[in-house]
């Protein structure tokens, strides 16, 4: 079956633009995670959903970052007024409850 998919795979934004990154989790996975991976670093937790409920958003770096999963399936990570420090790979992962997390290919965001 299909794994976690993310789109777009690459995004270039000018500083100050808003961006939206999409994640399609594995069908039936109730848990969905977003991570940010800066160059040369490991992934860092951003936020966690269980179905449509956002249970933890403690990792979001600022109020410019917003995530939603309105129907408990597809999720969107939105970044408003992008800054250069937002340049990173954004990873989405899904899992069955507290089981293994399966990662998507990531979206590489470059802010000029």
Partner 1 sequence: AQRVTQPEKLLSVFKGAPVELKCNYSYSGSPELFWYVQYSRQRLQLLLRHISRESIKGFTADLNKGETSFHLKKPFAQEEDSAMYYCALKGGGSNYKLTFGKGTLLTVNP
Q: Which of residues 26-85 bind partner 1 (CB under 8 A)?
A: 31, 33, 35, 40-45, 48, 56, 59
- Does 100 interact with partner 1 (rule: CB under 8 A)? yes
In the complex, least distance from residue 17 CB atom to partner 1, rounded to whole angstroms: 27
Q: Near partner 1 by CB under 8 A, which window of 10-18, 20-28, 75-83, 98-106?
A: 98-106
Residue 10 contacts residue 105 (beta carbons within 8 Å):
no
Residues that contact partner 1, how many (by CB under 8 A):
23
In the complex, least distance from residue 13 CB atom to partner 1, rounded to whole angstroms: 23
């Amino acid at each position: 079956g299909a794994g976690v998919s993310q789109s777009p795979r690459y995004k270039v934004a000018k500083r100050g633009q808003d961006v939206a990154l999409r994640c399609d989790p594995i069908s039936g996975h109730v848990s969905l995670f977003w991570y940010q991976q800066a160059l040369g670093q490991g992934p860092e937790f951003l936020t966690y959903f269980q179905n449509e409920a956002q249970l933890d958003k403690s990792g979001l770096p600022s109020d410019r970052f917003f995530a939603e999963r309105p129907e408990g399936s597809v999720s969107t990570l939105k970044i408003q007024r992008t800054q250069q420090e937002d340049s990173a790979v954004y990873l989405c992962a899904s899992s069955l409850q507290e089981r293994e997390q399966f990662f998507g290919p990531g979206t590489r965001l470059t802010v000029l």
